């Protein structure tokens, strides 16, 4: 089984290094959205398991590879913003981010990454693409997957409300797991645990 890694908003392919190193015996491809350099699309031929983080889950759900057999969605979701019948991040929070992003995108990106638990400095970035995807986070809802999903969430995620974490992928074939002490960057915080989850998902395939 091949792996397809897809990172979230405000990060790049290097985000996956700790986890990918632990799964180096499995063939894999790592997508890069292009926030901090040239985009590097990942093509996977044949059956594959998507390992996604945060907004990367929505991207894979929007354009699933032909051979997609399942998804390990880490801190992932099919919709980010709240709506009257569904928990999520309040629209006012995203509207405020968008307003501030137009004034000082670096400050907003820095604050977001720090809120998630990433303090590393970063260089030049594509503010246009980041803003476009921030709008998508506010407005879009990805289609439900037709393949099994393992939703792995952090019990102390500072970004995703608890009610949201328990509702993601509702009406899909989903198995839910919670890493009680984890935040929003589980592949960096607990790569060994995430690697075990991925291997168990592969082993559970019929």
Average pLDDT over residues 158-173: 96
| Mean model confidence pLDDT for the chain | 96
Q: In the 8-state DSSP scheme, what is residue 86? A: B
Range of the domain at 152: 2-203
User: What CA–CA distances, in Å, run from 12 to 15, 36, 78, 160, 179?
Assistant: 6, 7, 20, 20, 23
Q: In the numeric block, which tokens belong to residue 144?
A: 């439900």
What pLDDT sits at residue 120? 86
Say which CATH number the domain at 77 has.
3.40.50.1820
What share of the chain has pLDDT > 70, as a percent? 99
Model confidence over 79-121: pLDDT tens digits? 999 999 999 999 999 999 999 999 999 999 999 999 999 988 8
Residue 182 pLDDT > 90, yes or no?
Answer: yes
What pLDDT sits at residue 63? 94
What is the number of domains present in the chain? 1
Average pLDDT over residues 128-135: 98
- Hey, CA dihedral for 67, 72, 78, 79, is it positive or negative? negative
* pLDDT band (50, 70, 90) for residue 205: low
CB contact set of 86 (below 8 Å; sequence gap of 6+): 79, 164, 167
Model confidence over 3-55: pLDDT tens digits? 999 999 999 999 999 999 999 999 999 999 999 999 998 888 899 999 999 99
């Amino acid at each position: 089984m091949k792996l397809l890694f897809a990172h979230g908003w405000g990060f790049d392919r290097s985000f996956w290094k700790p986890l990918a190193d632990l799964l180096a015996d499995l063939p894999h491809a790592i997508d890069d959205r292009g926030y901090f350099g040239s985009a590097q699309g990942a093509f996977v031929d044949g059956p594959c398991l998507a390992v996604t983080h945060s907004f990367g889950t929505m991207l894979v759900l929007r354009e699933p590879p032909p051979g997609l057999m399942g998804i390990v969605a880490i801190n992932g979701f099919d919709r980010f913003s709240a709506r009257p019948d569904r928990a999520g991040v309040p629209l006012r929070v995203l509207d405020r981010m968008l307003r501030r992003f137009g004034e000082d995108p670096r400050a907003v990106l820095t604050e977001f990454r720090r809120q998630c638990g990433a303090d590393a400095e970063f260089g030049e970035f594509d503010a246009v693409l980041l803003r476009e995807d921030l709008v998508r986070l506010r407005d879009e809802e990805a289609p439900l997957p037709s393949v099994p999903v393992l939703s792995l969430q952090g019990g102390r995620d500072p970004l995703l409300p608890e009610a949201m974490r328990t509702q993601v992928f509702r009406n899909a074939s989903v198995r839910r797991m919670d890493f009680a002490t984890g935040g929003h960057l589980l592949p960096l915080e607990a790569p060994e645990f995430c690697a075990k989850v991925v291997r168990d998902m592969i082993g559970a395939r019929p």
